[in-house]
Amino acid sequence: MNTEMIKCKTLKAKPTEVKSFGKLFTDYMYVREYDGGKWGKGKICPYDGFVLLPCSSVLHYGQAVFEGLKAYRDKESGTVRLFRARDNFKRMRSSCERLCIPPIDEEEAFSALVDLISVERDWIPTDAGTSLYIRPYVFANDESLGVHAAKNYKFAVILSPSGAYYAHGFAPVALKVEREYVRASKGGTGAYKVVGNYAASILAGEEAKSAGYDQVLWLDGTERKYVEEVGSMNIFFVIDGTVVTPELNGSILPGITRDSCIKLLKSMDIPVQERRISIDEVMDGAKSGALTEIFGTGTAAVISPVDRLGDVNGDYIIGKKGEAGKVSKLLFDTLTGIQTGRLEDPFGWVTIVK
């Protein structure tokens, strides 16, 4: 192991069963600080609080980015697999650049993560549907109230043994088409994993929940006409047998699960298109029956079937109520198969952690 480590005095008891998402945390985390114009040497240290002064710049101006990825452990062999971790650190670099945060070398971040995972491998749950959710993040920590690019940052990685993101697992969710608020617009930060995108989405999400939906389906910020994403997931539609997902247009997050699904569909010769898709086309498809399936994709959610879509004129049931569609099931089985080692990985997405 290359990373310096500060040992815990005592270790926590590991859970025998993991059901929640993002509520349990392991004994160790990784921390690296930026000061004096450079990133210092990172260390693995006990999971504990940061000292943040009341004037810390992140608390005022939100100069912060994050990532989400997963590790899996095989029950029988104990083999630990990391899924597309380098791609997450690549995206983190682009998010950092967008927020004027000094980027972190992808290979250095990757090798620190491998060290942290190998220390915490016994925390990785092995039951079906569980994984170790990994949350890397970077935030500004200047003692200053001026609005400018900070000079001090922290990069941390925390680990959370987790079950499914939605409490009901692979069961379908309901989406409300969001007509009032927008998540992002061209030239903004929608294509980056920055904390402000999520803060800005909470009100719409809460209102959708009060109205009986799980999440909102965001439309573009300019014309309010084209479908973008869900916020915690990218979105796919099956229309007349073709799988369609909004093309990356500068305000949609380039999801790694989104990319994996497109590659999987292509490898299976299932027609897939990345293109602009209007909400009218979606609603017309829902009315005519040409739209047979909707599903979301994301690291936390994996594949999340959608069986109800609500808009100003009422709700449409997509496919069979309470059931995942054929394409959603196929993608879920194949993707989780590759992630957990049940299936071959022809794409080279998986890293085995020794």
68 is a contact residue toward ligand COI (CB under 6 A): yes
Q: Which is nearer to ligand COI, 3 or 215 (CB)?
A: 215
- The one-letter amino acid code at 50 reads F
Q: Which of 160, 251, 299, 340 binds ligand COI (CB under 6 A)?
A: 299
Which residue, 223, 229, 255, 222, is CA-closest to 177?
Answer: 229
Smallest distance from ligand COI to CB 233, Å: 7
Residues 6+ apart with CB under 8 A from 191: 184, 248, 250, 251, 252, 253, 254
| Binding residue for ligand COI, selected from 57, 95, 232, 336, defined by CB under 6 A | 232
- Give yes or no for residue 134 binding ligand COI (CB under 6 A): no
Report, in Å, the least distance between residue 193 CB and ligand COI: 7
- The residue type at 56: S
Among 286, 300, 303, 350, binds ligand COI (CB under 6 A): 300
Nearer to ligand COI, 3 or 299 (CB): 299
Question: Which residues 78-117 are close enough to bind ligand COI by CB under 6 A?
Answer: none
CB-based closest residue to ligand COI: 68
Tell which phi-psi region holds residue 89, choosing left (phi > 0), alpha (psi between -120 and 50) or beta.
Answer: alpha
Question: Residue 80 pairs with which residues in a beta bridge?
Answer: 73, 353
Q: Binding to ligand COI by residue 298, rule CB under 6 A?
A: yes
Q: How many residues bind ligand COI (CB under 6 A)?
A: 5
Bridge-based pairing of strands 43-46 and 38-39 is: unpaired
Our CB check for ligand COI shows the closer of 116 and 239 to be 116
**Residue 241, Cβ density class (10 Å: 0-12 exposed, 13-18 middle, ≥19 buried):** exposed
**Residue 125 binding ligand COI, by CB under 6 A:** no
Q: How far is the CB of 297 from ligand COI (least distance, A)?
A: 9
Burial class (CB in 10 A: 0-12, 13-18, 19+), 26: buried
Q: Which stretch binds ligand COI (CB under 6 A): 145-153, 275-283, 293-301, 309-317?
A: 293-301
* Stretch in the footprint of ligand COI (CB under 6 A) among 12-20, 209-217, 279-287, 295-303: 295-303
Task: Report the nearest approach of ligand COI to the CB of residue 21 (Å).
Answer: 8
Q: Are 217 and 178 contacting, i.e. CB atoms less than 8 angstroms apart? A: yes
Strands 215-217, 350-353: pairing is unpaired
Residue 85: alpha-carbon gap to chain centroid: 12
Q: Which residue ranges make up the site for ligand COI (CB under 6 A)?
A: 68, 232, 298-300
